[in-house]
Amino acid sequence: MHMSRNINNSVIQEKMTDGSGKIKEFALVFAAYTLLTLILTYPVILRFSTHFMGDGGDGFQNIWNMWWLKTALTERLTDPYSTSHLHYPNGVTLLFQSLSPFNGLISIPLQFMFGMKVAYNLVAVFSFIMSGVGMYFFAQYLIGHRLAAFIAGIIYTFSPYHFAHGLGHLQLVAMEWMPFFVLYLFKIFREGGTRNTLLATVFLILTTLCSWYYLIYALFFTAIFVIYGLIVQRKAFLESGVLNRLVVMLLLLFIVMSPLTGRMIFAKFTQEFTGAPNPEIDSADVTSFFVPSGMWFKSVWSKWSGNRAENSNFLGYIAFGLSIYALVRIPQSHFWGVAGAFFWLMALGPYLTVAGAQIRFPLPYLLFHNYLPFFSFAGVPGRFDVMLKFCMAILTAYAVFDLIAIYLPGTNEWLSFYPHPETERARLIQVHWRMSGLEILSVTLTGILICAEYLAIPYATTTVDVPQYYRQLADDPDEYGVIDLPTGPLTLYYATIHKKPIVGGHVSRLPQKASDFLEETPIIATLMRGGTPPPSDQIDDALAMLGEYNIRYVITHNDQHQPFLEDVLMLMNVYDQEGIKVYDFRHREVSSDDGSASDDDKASEDREVEESNVPSIDPEVAEKQAEALIQSVLRAIGSWGSRLTRRELNKVIQSQFLSFFSDTDQDKIKQLQSQFEVYDTDGDRRLTPEEVTKVILNQP
């Protein structure tokens, strides 16, 4: 039952409009979520200045993004959406990079004051705190109960989705502006006014500057909001003038973002890009919503497609149960059930996947993927889960509010989801300012239980021992390119230390011409794509080409390329410490007294070229090469995703295995390829790294 509250309206109105009261409330809520964030991300607070929050991986790309925005805007005074510091010498566009300008911009003064580690951690922690604060104020506006609103903030900001992407996807951690956008979207309808329209636009722009994914989700939410309003309360919705205000909001968004979106559209139609995710792989598994992603449940989640972060969708049994309760008992919550169901379906991707098995049953995502322009660039369906958690947060708050009304009567009164605008302007939403100790105790217990279900302690942190050589490069004032092997996310972090342009480097969407450069340029193709070494009579020309490109050094972290660099190219090793070897493309070792190679030396060199990639029969050498081969393939898997189909793996074999076998040794390559059929007869099942390792070791 819902009972009215005996609270003086004028007092409530005064408290709601009291600026100092709002500031105090904001400070208190901010402090509360700060405390919870520091507890639930333990031991991040103890390693704040020595470690990065997260497990490395994609996090290093976001570290590079922050460094590059600072470098481009404060040092080079150049366009941050184009760089030659990656994929040197031609450079690459960053229009489709996970650049997250908001995160980058607020990090600039922090980088100057505290350095990269603290700056990165502050930005990440800020997103956790403000996501909770934003949801609190929206839920309070919608429902009118502080404690219920605080529970909503807990569910939204401490959900498994947020913790999982906090391991490295800083652009997805920044979901703090979505609640503020939705708050002012509702105010546009309920209260009208130019101020609310402008604020909704501001928060939509901020959401966009955090992640393009979140712009798409916000637009989908707006569409659901409009359609539901037209169906449920068509007359009130049309009379409110909300449609006109939404048109103004979208027009302002277009004007502000058009300099960037215009360039993106032009690039989309004039260039070919690679690296878009496969939505069939990165879809949410149905079972992922009901199974925690902790190690206790590895036997279940290890069967899911894609990687673990994209399937950390656990709803939490308490939040899920309270959401169902709200939908059954409270009519005002039905909008959130409709919106949540839509986002859940979208998270499932183009086809249904249950316990790792894909059922070729088409879902709504497939329609948008095939027919909505640019939608394919948001090719990770599982990330729609953030909006499901948004809806669940509000549903849970409704349930908490209702249960308090039942067991602690005399406290609450419901308002319709779409109250008449004039009535709303006169009364607004009543705020429950006086709460009993029993209320506080019961809601606190609920919050603790929800946090326990979402618990991710100890939260991952990462530190990197940077070889001193990278700092020496940073001290060199000359501008030139380097090749850092093996390429991967850590390469990007090293680039923020040595500050030299690098050949290659991971970007979210790689132009095909940049990929072609890596595959077709002699020496670079051998080192970075596993291509065939250039013939001995073309090596001088290949090295001269690198000189023209001003590519000076190659840095290696293992011995994989040592035979090619030392025996074939005969490069001079200029640094060999701290686990890295550095070779200078400008200087070659010579074998004769006069500085030139004799005919016998050249003949010997030709033989070495033929033999340099053939595995040694020495067991110790063979064992080292096998281990290097395994690591090479696993790194390649990392660049493709957490798993590969046999078809994809065959491409890896052709590129990576040629670094170990000669062109004439095709039997070994075919034998390795055929062994994968033991695991995969149709070429479509995903192979785990463990299965790959077994195949390489001939243990199917």
pLDDT digits (tens, 9 = 90+) for 614-670: 333 345 544 555 555 555 555 545 444 444 554 555 555 544 444 444 444 455 555
For tokens 């309808």, name the residue.
189
Q: What is the pLDDT of residue 237?
A: 86
Q: What is the pLDDT of residue 137?
A: 97
Q: What is the pLDDT of residue 107?
A: 97
C-alpha–C-alpha distance, residues 561 and 578, integer Å: 17
Query: Phi and psi of 552, rounded to 5°?
Result: -100, -45
**Going by DSSP bridges, is the β-strand pair 551-556/580-588 parallel, antiparallel, or unpaired?**
antiparallel
Higher pLDDT, 91 or 294: 91
Q: What is the pLDDT of residue 41?
A: 96
C-alpha–C-alpha distance, residues 219 and 199, integer Å: 16
**Using an 8 Å Cβ cutoff, are 398 and 326 in contact?**
yes
For tokens 């217990």, name the residue.
445
pLDDT at 607 over 50: no
Q: What is the pLDDT of residue 628?
A: 58
Q: What is the pLDDT of residue 142?
A: 93
Long-range own/partner contacts, residues 5-8 (CB < 8 A, 24 or more apart): 5/410, 5/411, 5/412, 5/413, 5/430, 5/432, 6/410, 7/430, 7/432, 7/433, 7/434
For tokens 């500050």, name the residue.
499
Which pLDDT band holds residue 236 (cuts at 50, 70, 90)? confident
**What's the mean pLDDT in 59-81?**
95
pLDDT at 586 over 80: yes
CB atoms within 10 A of CB 428: 19
For tokens 């990065």, name the residue.
52
Q: What is the pLDDT of residue 691?
A: 60
Distances (CA, A) of 147 to 310, 408, 436, 443: 31, 14, 11, 7
| Interval 5-19: pLDDT, tens | 333 333 333 444 466
pLDDT at 289 over 80: yes
Sign of the dihedral through C-alpha 511, 513, 516, 517: negative
3-state helix, strand, coil in the chain (%, to 5): 60, 10, 30
**Going by DSSP bridges, is the β-strand pair 580-588/510-511 parallel, antiparallel, or unpaired?**
unpaired
**What's the mean pLDDT in 196-211?**
97
C-alpha–C-alpha distance, residues 384 and 345, integer Å: 9
Listed residue (41, 137, 133) closest to 457, CA to CA? 41
Q: What is the pLDDT of residue 132?
A: 97
Q: What is the pLDDT of residue 307?
A: 65
Q: Which two tokens stand for residue 386?
A: 């953030």
Put simply, whether the predicted model's pTM sits higher than 0.85 gets the answer no
**Using an 8 Å Cβ cutoff, are 191 and 419 in contact?**
no
Listed residue (62, 107, 100, 68) closest to 85, CA to CA? 68
**What's the mean pLDDT in 219-242?**
92
C-alpha–C-alpha distance, residues 162 and 699, integer Å: 39
Helix axis angle, 212-232 relative to 385-407, nearest 10°? 50
Higher pLDDT, 355 or 384: 384
Sign of the dihedral through C-alpha 633, 579, 460, 119: negative
Which pLDDT band holds residue 308 (cuts at 50, 70, 90)? low
**What's the mean pLDDT in 100-115?**
96
Q: What is the pLDDT of residue 667?
A: 55
Distances (CA, A) of 118 to 48, 390, 492, 634: 6, 29, 18, 31
Name which of 126-130, 298-302, 573-577, 618-622 the model is least confident about. Answer: 618-622
pLDDT at 421 over 50: no
**What's the mean pLDDT in 428-455?**
75
Name which of 100-104, 244-248, 551-555, 667-671 the model is least confident about. Answer: 667-671
pLDDT at 168 over 70: yes
**What's the mean pLDDT in 306-321?**
84
Q: What is the pLDDT of residue 404?
A: 86
pLDDT at 601 over 80: no
Torsion, CA 183, CA 189, CA 190, CA 194, rounded to 10: 80
**What's the mean pLDDT in 346-373?**
88
Q: What is the pLDDT of residue 487?
A: 86
CA–centroid distance for 351 within its chain: 22
| Interval 364-414: pLDDT, tens | 999 998 888 777 767 799 999 999 999 999 999 999 999 988 876 654 444
Q: What is the pLDDT of residue 130?
A: 98
**Going by DSSP bridges, is the β-strand pair 551-556/481-485 parallel, antiparallel, or unpaired?**
parallel
- Give me the chain's average pLDDT, please: 81
